[in-house]
């Protein structure tokens, strides 16, 4: 029985469309046939399987949400929109008491976290919804805490490749910079090499052609001052299924937060979703 109503915002974008198809095929969820979208979208609707989803532009979203609440009562929003819309969307969710999972990267992340923390609804916000990558980040955070300056003096090269339409630098790569800084490496987010050229991706990176429109390949290379030692970490993701699984886990986590006594914490990350204590 489908028991969690989900509002997926960002259609007809690729990630939002992938999420919508996954929700329709998963018996734990029910897709609300409406999606908040950008002002430049011309299509009035988007087909998800047999379900026509009405696309709502920003000027009409307040009225649309009011109607959705009358019909579906409690629901959770999944946001895979555009980096330029991150902060405005989050403020809208908070103002209208809509718990949400924010998978969109970019925007002012400090303002985003502040807006959610001051509100009264729970939200999961993460630059990466892939559980295994989040676990890798947790390992890096542990190393940074336990072995500060371990790589002092080393040089760092970060390369990240994503589909051509991804507008911003990878949020995961930016987060990794912080861990490497704590490990003693002098490196700034602006130094991240951002690859978006499909020809370069296919001929130099050898990314399979079918995944040029949806992938996330990251390589982090540490080199000793004299060049005698090199450490390299990488995570190469083809397609979007890994993000779908993590996002749906985040939705179920939020549902538990909604039914549990409301504590002081409003802002959650994928670390909370993964941690066993986050399930209580």
Active-site positions?
162, 166
Cα 260 to chain centroid, rounded: 24
User: Across the beta sheet with 230-238, what order do the strands follow?
Assistant: 193-195, 155-162, 215-223, 230-238
Residue of 90, 12, 19 lying closest to 54 (CA atoms): 12
196 touches 168 (CB < 8 A):
no
Beta strand extents in the chain (DSSP E only):
4-9, 29-31, 34-36, 45-48, 51-56, 76-79, 100-102, 123-125, 155-162, 193-195, 215-223, 230-238, 267-268
Q: Which of 16, 163, 41, 169 is nearest to 105 (CA)?
A: 169
- Whose tokens are 């072995």? That residue is 147
* C-beta neighbour count of 68 within 10 angstroms: 22
50: Cβ contacts below 8 Å, ≥ 6 apart? none
Strands of 61-207, DSSP E: 76-79, 100-102, 123-125, 155-162, 193-195
Q: Are 184 and 151 in contact (CB under 8 A)?
A: yes
Enter the tokens of residue 37.
């979208």
């Amino acid at each position: 029985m489908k028991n969690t109503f989900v509002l997926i915002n960002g259609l007809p974008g690729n990630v939002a469309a992938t999420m919508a198809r996954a929700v329709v095929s998963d018996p734990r969820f029910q897709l609300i046939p409406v999606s908040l979208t950008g002002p430049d979208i011309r299509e009035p609707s988007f087909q998800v399987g047999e379900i026509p989803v009405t696309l709502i532009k920003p000027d009409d979203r307040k009225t649309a949400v009011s109607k959705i609440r009358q019909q579906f009562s409690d629901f959770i929003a999944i946001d895979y929109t555009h980096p330029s819309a991150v902060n405005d969307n989050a403020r809208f969710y908070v103002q209208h008491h809509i718990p949400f999972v924010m998978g969109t990267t970019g925007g002012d992340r400090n303002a985003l976290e502040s807006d959610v923390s001051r509100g009264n609804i729970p939200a999961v916000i993460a630059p990466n919804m892939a559980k295994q990558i989040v676990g890798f980040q947790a390992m890096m955070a542990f190393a940074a805490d336990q072995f500060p300056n371990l790589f002092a003096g080393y040089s760092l090269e970060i390369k990240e490749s994503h589909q051509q339409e991804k507008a911003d630098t990878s949020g995961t790569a930016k987060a990794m910079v912080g861990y490497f800084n704590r490990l003693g490496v002098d490196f700034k987010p602006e130094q991240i090499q951002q690859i978006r050229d499909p020809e370069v991706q296919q001929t130099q990176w050898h990314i399979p052609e079918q995944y040029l429109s949806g992938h996330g390949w990251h390589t982090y290379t540490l080199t000793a001052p004299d060049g005698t030692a090199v450490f390299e970490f990488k995570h190469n993701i083809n397609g979007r299924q890994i993000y779908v699984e993590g996002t749906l886990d985040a939705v179920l986590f939020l549902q538990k937060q909604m039914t549990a006594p409301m504590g002081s914490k409003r802002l959650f990350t994928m670390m909370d979703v993964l941690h066993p204590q986050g399930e209580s």
